[in-house]
Structure 1
Amino acid sequence: MTNDAHADDERAQVHTVLLYSPKEERRRTVRTAIGRRPAKDVGRIEWIECLTYDEVIENVDRGGVDLAILDGEAQPTGGMGLSRQMKYELDDCPAVLVVIAREADRWLATWSLADATLLYPVDPLTAGEVVAQQLRNRTAGVPVLR
């Protein structure tokens, strides 16, 4: 396979990204900052939006999720606790990105075993770069944190 053909395959790939937040405004802001294709070399994103803990668990258990973006400020179940639970309970856990409200919360996101963080409000340049890297890692088979 030529490099051009390989690049075309990557761009044609569709990645399933789960986005969890009970707040519609937060989901819209994150989704808008990332867009449908976070980088030229990364395939298109198919979004699954979840408002509740149960929806996240149902979708992740079904399989096929490449990246879970979790609201660290969500109530009653926060994204950090959910991240830690997923990392301990799932054999094929998707990459997890936690959206945090304060820079000081990065240590807690590390405790939650999140693969990456984004600071809210989300910067589109940073968001695209971070999401694209997580999707590249997933495609390449790089193991997620455990």
Structure 2
Amino acid sequence: MSTQPLKILVYSHRPNIREAIITAVGRRPAPDIGRVDYIEAGTVSEVLMTMDAGRIDLAILDGEAQPTGGIGLCRQLKNEITDCGPIVIAVRRKDDRWLATWSQADAVVIYPLDPLAAAETVADVLRARRLPVARG
């Protein structure tokens, strides 16, 4: 296991939503994941620059962000970045899960965020990302 903390990008135009996501997931989502550090982004351009640089282990995007929501942004990232990292979408309505599926999100969390469910979801996505590729 790496000693470097994993990097999680959190995007929302509202600082209080970014804070709520960070608080819910926590600095250590699961014992086997280790510590995580957060990079906050309040604009789409910040997200694009950070994701293009390839230094992110996971992104959590606010599906309700303005003027560009995380759902559309997720689809753009998944289609434009080769080997795009995992993305979790935070939505307000359970009925919006289908939109997150359309966006190619790796997982969805629902507002208000349940800290146990949010941390577990993030940990599951990070674990899946770290699985070795089987060569045959």
User: Aligned letter for 2:49?
Assistant: E
**1:72-83 superposed matches below 5 A:** 72-83=63-74
1:42 to 21, 33, 45: 33
Partner of 1:112: 103
Superposed displacement of residue 38, structure 1: 0.1
Ranges in structure 1 where 5+ consecutive residues have no aligned partner: 1-8
Ranges in structure 2 where 5+ consecutive residues have no aligned partner: none
Q: Could you say what the CA RMSD is over the residues aligned between the two structures, in angstroms?
A: 1.2
CA deviation profile, 1:35-72 (whole Å, cap 9, x unmatched): 10100111211101000000000000111211110000
Alignment pair present for 1:60 and 2:40: no
Between the two proteins, the alignment pairs up a number of residues equal to 133
Determine which structure has the larger helix proportion and give its number.
1
> Structure 1 segments of 4 or more deviating over 2 A?
none
Partner of 1:70: 61
2:23 to 26, 29, 32: 32
DSSP 3-state at the match of 1:97: strand
Alignment pair present for 1:90 and 2:81: yes
User: Aligned letter for 2:130?
Assistant: T
User: Aligned letter for 1:127?
Assistant: A
DSSP 3-state at the match of 2:79: helix
Given the two structures, how large is their TM-score scaled by the length of structure 2? 0.94
Quote the sequence identity (%).
52
Q: Distance in 1 between matches of 2:74 and 2:42?
A: 15
Kindly name which structure, 1 or 2, has the bigger radius of gyration based on alpha carbons.
1
Partner of 1:6: none
DSSP 3-state at the match of 1:22: coil
Q: Distance in 2 between matches of 1:46 and 1:130?
A: 17
User: Aligned letter for 1:50?
Assistant: A
Given the two structures, how large is their TM-score scaled by the length of structure 1? 0.87
User: Aligned letter for 2:66?
Assistant: Q
CA deviation profile, 1:62-113 (whole Å, cap 9, x unmatched): 1121111000000100000000001111112010100000000001111111
